[in-house]
């Protein structure tokens, strides 16, 4: 599978794992866009419930007692702290528990549903685990306070039972609703975070694909243009240097032929690049023949020879790589070793690997930075699992060697059908 296709399949599978929930309605969208208004409204509702519960006991016993005033103050504080529930959800919860414990000593036996709101806040803005811990600790504290009040006769049995039941029911309702909403909220946050990661990964993949495409185009352009122009320049210089008109005409005809071949190959390559299909081949359809490369160098007046040993049925990709390696090696010798008396191309084919050696005895080629030739060859050879080396041979010449392994055969194709 091509590398680009693998990246797309990974992104597609990641997208498939994101189960998007149903979009919120108009009312929920309104409250989500106005969090301050939501906080004020929730606080006012909580204040109404808490204060109404606290002041309902005023005058029950013929006057206002200290415990009733304290309970009212705590109720106001608990309701006001609901403004902090998004960041510190435990603050209104703790104040609500303190208020409910204080109300155990009131003359009436009325409970309060106020605990529903802070319990909901703990579940939504905290976690499910924190919610259940707070619920257990809160109801346990109210039960313990009721027992202590019964022991000291500060709390009646009816008040203790009503206070515990109302707190347990109100807290349970807030916990169940809040856990459901909180889980959905946390899932949405995870989906949004994953979506952002996918956007980053997509951008990175696009950058890598663009870099691969630039390298691919540069390599193909270099292979076509460099060799063809080198041959054309050599033929043109030879034509201008010879006094023989027939030889000059022949050299110019050869240069024109090389130019036409280059144009044809360029059109083929551009057709492949313009296709835009990720599965398109990285090379023109027809492999470059090593014999044609050497023949072109000979027509340009260079002492190039080709020796082929062994025989193997090479696949298309290997034959194309062989042609490009020979082309680049001969072109480098023509450009950088004009005084060479020998440019030898050795091609050995067997069942395991193909070895290409291009050796010249002229001056060592320039090794300045920025060239695409040798670097492109190294990338091409590495792409098919081969080895590549180029450098001085120690005798005043230059040697380029590449070894291309034979692709492994599909084991299914090697199974013979039963007779």
What's the mean pLDDT in 253-265? 75
The first and second tokens of residue 197, run together, are 């990661």
The answer to which of 79-88, 101-110, 384-393 has the lowest mean pLDDT is 101-110
Band of residue 281 on the pLDDT scale cut at 50, 70, 90: very low
3-state secondary structure (DSSP) of residue 345: strand
User: What pLDDT sits at residue 368?
Assistant: 46
Distance between CA atoms of 75 and 79, rounded to whole angstroms? Answer: 6
Higher pLDDT, 309 or 4: 309
User: What pLDDT sits at residue 118?
Assistant: 92
Other C-beta atoms lying within 10 Å of the C-beta of residue 180 = 13
For the chain, give the percent of residues with pLDDT over 90.
15
Measured in whole angstroms, the distance separating CA 338 from the mean position of its chain's CA atoms is: 49
Band of residue 5 on the pLDDT scale cut at 50, 70, 90: very low
What's the mean pLDDT in 101-118? 77
Q: Is the pLDDT of residue 304 over 80?
A: yes
What's the mean pLDDT in 340-354? 87
Strand order from edge to edge, sheet including 353-360: 304-310, 343-349, 353-360, 398-405, 387-392
User: What pLDDT sits at residue 131?
Assistant: 93
Other C-beta atoms lying within 10 Å of the C-beta of residue 89 = 26
- Residue 186 φ/ψ, nearest 5 degrees: -70, -35
Band of residue 282 on the pLDDT scale cut at 50, 70, 90: very low
Distance between CA atoms of 307 and 291, rounded to whole angstroms? Answer: 10
Other C-beta atoms lying within 10 Å of the C-beta of residue 304 = 25
Band of residue 244 on the pLDDT scale cut at 50, 70, 90: confident
User: What pLDDT sits at residue 169?
Assistant: 92
Strand residues in 130-197 grouped as ranges (E): none
Q: Is the pLDDT of residue 4 over 60?
A: no
User: CA nearest 184: which of 348, 399, 23, 10?
Assistant: 23
Tell me the per-residue pLDDT of 33-61, one tens digit each, with 9 for 90 and over: 778 888 888 889 888 888 887 777 665 55
The correct answer on CATH 1.20.120.450 for the domain covering 289-365+374-406 is no
For the chain, give the percent of residues with pLDDT over 70.
77
Q: Which residues contact 276 (CB under 8 A, 6 or more apart)?
A: none
Q: Which residues contact 387 (CB under 8 A, 6 or more apart)?
A: 381, 402, 403
Helix, strand, coil percentages in the chain from 3-state DSSP, rounded to 5: 65, 10, 25
Domain spans in the chain, listed from the N-terminal domain onward: 3-201, 289-365+374-406
Higher pLDDT, 229 or 158: 158
Q: Is the pLDDT of residue 378 over 70?
A: yes
Q: Which residues contact 342 (CB under 8 A, 6 or more apart)?
A: 303, 305, 359, 360, 361
């Amino acid at each position: 599978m091509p590398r680009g296709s693998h990246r797309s399949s990974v992104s597609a599978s990641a997208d498939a794992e994101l189960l998007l929930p149903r979009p919120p309605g108009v009312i929920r969208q309104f409250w989500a866009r106005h969090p301050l208004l939501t906080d004020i409204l929730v606080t006012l509702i909580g204040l109404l419930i808490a204060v109404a519960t606290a002041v309902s006991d005023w005058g029950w016993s013929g006057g206002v007692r200290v415990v009733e005033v304290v309970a009212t103050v705590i109720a106001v504080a608990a309701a006001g702290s609901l403004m902090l529930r998004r960041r510190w959800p435990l603050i209104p919860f703790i104040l609500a528990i303190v208020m409910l414990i204080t109300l155990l000593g009131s003359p009436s036996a009325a409970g309060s549903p106020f605990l529903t709101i802070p319990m909901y806040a703990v579940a939504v803005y905290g976690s499910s685990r924190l919610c259940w811990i707070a619920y257990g600790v809160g109801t346990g504290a109210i039960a313990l306070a009721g027992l202590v009040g019964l022991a000291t006769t500060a709390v009646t049995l009816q008040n203790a039972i009503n206070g515990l039941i109302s707190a347990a029911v109100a807290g349970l309702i807030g916990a169940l609703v809040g856990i459901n909403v909180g889980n959905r909220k946390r899932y949405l946050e995870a989906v949004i975070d994953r979506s952002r990661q996918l956007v980053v990964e997509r951008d990175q993949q696009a950058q890598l694909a663009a870099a691969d495409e630039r390298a691919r185009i540069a390599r193909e352009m270099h292979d076509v243009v460099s060799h063809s122009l080198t041959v054309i320049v050599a033929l043109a210089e030879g034509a201008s240097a010879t006094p023989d008109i027939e030889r000059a005409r022949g050299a110019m005809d050869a240069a024109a032929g090389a130019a036409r071949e280059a144009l044809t190959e360029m059109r083929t390559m551009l057709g492949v690049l313009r296709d835009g299909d990720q599965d398109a081949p990285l090379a023109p359809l027809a492999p470059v023949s090593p014999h044609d490369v050497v023949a072109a160098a000979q027509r340009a007046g260079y002492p190039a020879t080709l020796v082929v040993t062994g025989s193997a049925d090479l696949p298309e990709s290997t034959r194309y790589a062989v042609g490009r390696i020979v082309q680049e090696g001969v072109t480098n010798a023509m450009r950088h070793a004009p005084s060479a008396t020998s440019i030898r191309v050795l091609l050995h084919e067997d069942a395991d690997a193909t070895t290409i050696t291009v050796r010249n005895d002229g001056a060592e080629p320039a090794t300045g930075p920025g060239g695409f030739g040798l670097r492109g060859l190294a990338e091409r050879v590495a792409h098919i699992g081969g080895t590549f080396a180029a450098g001085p041979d120690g005798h005043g010449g230059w040697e380029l060697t590449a070894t291309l392994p034979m692709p492994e055969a599909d084991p299914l194709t090697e199974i013979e059908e039963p007779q």
